[in-house]
Each structure stands twice: as structure tokens, then as C-alpha cells.
Amino acid sequence: MGFMGQTRLCIVTNVFLPSVGGIQIVTYEQSKRLLFEKFDVKVVTSRMQSPKMYVVDGINVECYESMNMGFRLGIPYTIPTVSSFPMFTKNVKNSKIVHAHGHPYLTSLIAGKLAKYYEKPFVLTQHNTFIDYNNIFNQVEKINDLTVGRETLKQADKIVVVSNATKDYVLSLGAKSSRVEVLHNGVDLDRFKPLPKIKEEMRKKLGIPNDVKIVLTVRRIVYKNGVDTLIDAANIAVKKKQNLVVIVAGKGPDMASIQKQIEHMGLEKNIKLAGFVADQDLHAYYNIADLFVLPSKSGEGLPLVALEAMACGLPVIATNVGGINEIIVKGFGKLVPANNPEMLAKAIVEFADVNRESGELRAIVEEKFGWDKNVARLIEIYEELI
């Protein structure tokens, strides 16, 4: 069924831009394309340091007041206040379709319940698999999954998952397989592409000689992302290959302990902590590198950073967690077990010495992982439900 005029779409997400993360980027990339396809998009999200209402590239955003739990510990979970309920009700009631991101959030559950009450189709996108926090929060997450998560999944007319690994996760929580569809994330192909000229400029700027091999990771520095494993692997790798520099782009609650680990191992010359890198500067970091590493311990659905690296022609070495094995291209990447510095070091040394033609990898990414293709299927899903 085609759409007449504009279709009102309410998108509910725990956090949104200017706060940066995987869910925020997926929501943004999809929303801005949906605007071009005659959708009247309203994003409903938590209020961080933002005004009550604002606009991002034409996308209207309205914020609910919330208690923001666990953010300092790297666990972004918002609990909406009772006073925000009328705003949720108004936005769901005024929309033709409701689309929430993330099954474990109370906001997704509220959106799903209101959608059912007002007889609006409810789409839910689930991004990650189970996240291992290595502390008491694992139990909290399990309880939340079996209560809020399960109930949210039950409300959904369609559950979009970003990988087969994420599909298995939602099925284990009781989602009906007939309602679940895998739709791989996309990548901004205009922004993330091979740019040979930047390479020389960036090396000069960072003071890294041309004969040095650069290994890059882009990660929030929290336990689940495995930066500690990468440091251990670097300690092994530099003994075999001294002209190796690891750049860690990102910050997070574990930054101080990672800094200590680097100093303890005497790796200050070989590991550079770049801190937070703004989204608009990321492509330059991908282009300076020879190799990208994703050392995650758990929780990966389909990591955007791996797609961004591949779009820039970078081979990817990753731990075999979540859905990453669904996108690694043979010959341009390798999977190693999680929490295994020896295997990771071996793969880094092996791949650092191989010069691959970036054009072939880029062509594969263009064919499979453009956002336009992702959004075209998303629109079909909406049309099937309306």
C-alpha cells in the first residue's frame, strides 16, 4: 500500500544525538532518510543536557524528563518520570506508526503498551545481544530482560534485529520467530571511504612515521568492549613487531585503569589514547590506520564501527561475539576468541604486514551495507503493518 501525503512516525529511543552511540547513529541515519520518503518523523528521547525540544538535520526531537541511571558506569538506562507520561501519550496517539529502539528500556515498553491501546502498529528494533558487565549488573540485566524486555517483545507487531545473533537473543526471551526479521545495519558511504591524502596529513599531525603500522580501535572504554584485552595483545605483538602503534579512540569509565595498564607494561610509545573523537573526525582516523581491531567481550549486535572501518577499506580483526561474524569479509578480516590476547596478537602481527587493495573491500560494503537499502526495507515493513 502506498502512502498519501505524510505519514506520522513516532520513534522512541533511550538516548539520541548529540549523545553519540550505536543506537543514536542508527536512529539518526534511518530518520533523516525517512524524512525524504514523506514521513513526518518525531523522535521521543530522554532529556540529557538538551532543551525540551530541538531539531537535528530536520528531525524533530521531543524529550521526556527522566532519571538517568548508571550512565557514569557505562550503563545508559533512563527511567522516565511520571510527569512525562502525557507527552508519550500525545506522540503515540498522533502517529500512524510507533517504532522503539531497544527491548530492555521502560520507554520502549511504555511506547508498546500505548501503541496497543491506541491500535497503532508497533515496531521494535533490538541492537545488541546480552551484555556482560562482569559485576552485579549482570543479574539486574537478566531480571530486566525477563520482565521489561519480555513484555516489550510481546507488544511488538514486528521485531527488527540487526544480526542473527541478536535474533537468537530475542527468541531466547520468548519472541515469536514469525515476527522477527534480520535487517543488517548500514554505513554512511559518503563519509566513510578511502581517502589516501588524509593518511599523510594525519600521520604528520600525530607524529607517527610512515614506516609504522597503525592498529586502530574505536570503543567506549568499558569492560564489555575489551580494550584491556587489546592492551595485553599489543604487549605481545610489539615484541614480534616493534614498528606497531595502537590508537584507541574513545573514552569511558575505565580510562584510568587502561592508562595504568599501559604504564605498567611500559607501552606508552606503542599505545596512544586519543580520547573522545568527534563523529565528524572519525573518517580521518580510519584512513590513517592499516588495520582495525574490535576486541569486544560481549553484547555486540552488529557493530557500526566495523562497517565504518570496512567502508574505508580497512581489514578488521574481531573477537567472535554477537553478529560480527556475519559481516567479516574473507581475506579482509579474521575472527579470534574473546578474552584471548595471544590469538589477538597473532592475528594483528599477521595482518599488519599484508597490504591489501582497499577497493575490493569497499565495493563489497557498498553492495551490502548502504543505509538506503536498509531504509527501503524498513519502509516496506511499515507499509505491511499500516
At 178-214, the pLDDT tens digits run 999 999 999 999 999 999 888 888 888 888 998 999 9
Contact 338, 298 (CB under 8 A): yes
Shared-domain flag, residues 238 and 166:
no
> Is the same domain home to 216 and 239?
yes
Q: What is the pLDDT of residue 242?
A: 87
CA distance 334 to 347: 7
- How far apart (Å, rounded) are the C-alpha atoms in residues 97 and 39? 10
In this structure, is residue 112 part of a structural domain?
yes
Q: Single out the residue of 178, 48, 170 nearest to residue 102, CA to CA.
A: 170
Residue 160's closest CA among 183, 177, 185, 129? 183
**pLDDT tens track for 240-267:** 988 999 999 999 999 999 999 999 999 9
H helix or E strand, kind and range, residue 108: helix 106-117
Whether 74 shows a pLDDT value over 80: the answer reads no
pLDDT of 267-288, one tens digit each?
999 999 999 999 889 999 999 9
Residues of the chain with pLDDT > 70: what percent? 97
The answer to whether residue 97 sits within a structural domain is yes
Residue that the C-alpha cell 500525545 belongs to: 90
pLDDT at 98 over 90: yes
Mark whether 45 and 160 lie in a shared domain.
yes
Same-domain pairing of 206 and 352: yes
Residue 63: inside a domain: yes
Is the previous residue joined to 18 through a cis bond, with omega within 30 degrees of 0? yes
**Shared-domain flag, residues 361 and 378:** no
Domain membership of residue 78 (yes or no) is yes
Examine the domain organization and report whether 276 and 302 are in the same domain.
yes
pLDDT at 164 over 80: yes
80: CATH: 3.40.50.2000
Instruction: Let me know if residue 1 belongs to a domain.
Output: no
Residues 174 and 297 placed together within one structural domain of the fold:
no
d(CA 60, CA 188): 21
* 175 pLDDT higher than 60: yes
Q: Are strands 66-69 and 77-80 parallel, antiparallel or unpaired?
A: antiparallel
Indicate if 171 and 96 belong to the same structural domain: yes
CA proximity to 15, closest of 144, 101, 109: 101
DSSP result, 27-71 = HHHHHHHHHHTTEEEEEEEE-SSS-SEEEETTEEEEEE-EEEESG
Q: Is the pLDDT confidence value at 4 over 60?
A: no
At residue 326, the 3 state secondary structure works out as: helix
162 and 218 together in one domain: no
For the residues 345-374, what does the mean pLDDT come to?
A: 90
In percent, the amount of the chain with pLDDT more than 90 equals: 77
> Is there a single domain that holds both residue 92 and residue 213?
no
Q: Is there a single domain that holds both residue 241 and residue 132?
A: no
* pLDDT tens figures, 48-59: 878 999 999 999
Residue 375 lies in a domain: yes
Q: Using the Cα atoms of residue 382, residue 131, residue 315 and residue 198 in order, give the sign of their dihedral.
A: positive
Q: How confident is the model over 323-339, as a mean pLDDT?
A: 94
**Whether residue 147 is found in the same domain as residue 207:** no
The total number of structural domains that make up the chain? 2
- In 3D space, the residue among 156, 68, 162, 161 whose CA is nearest the CA of residue 109 turns out to be 156
pLDDT in the model for residue 2: 42
Instruction: Note down the domain range covering 232.
Output: 196-368
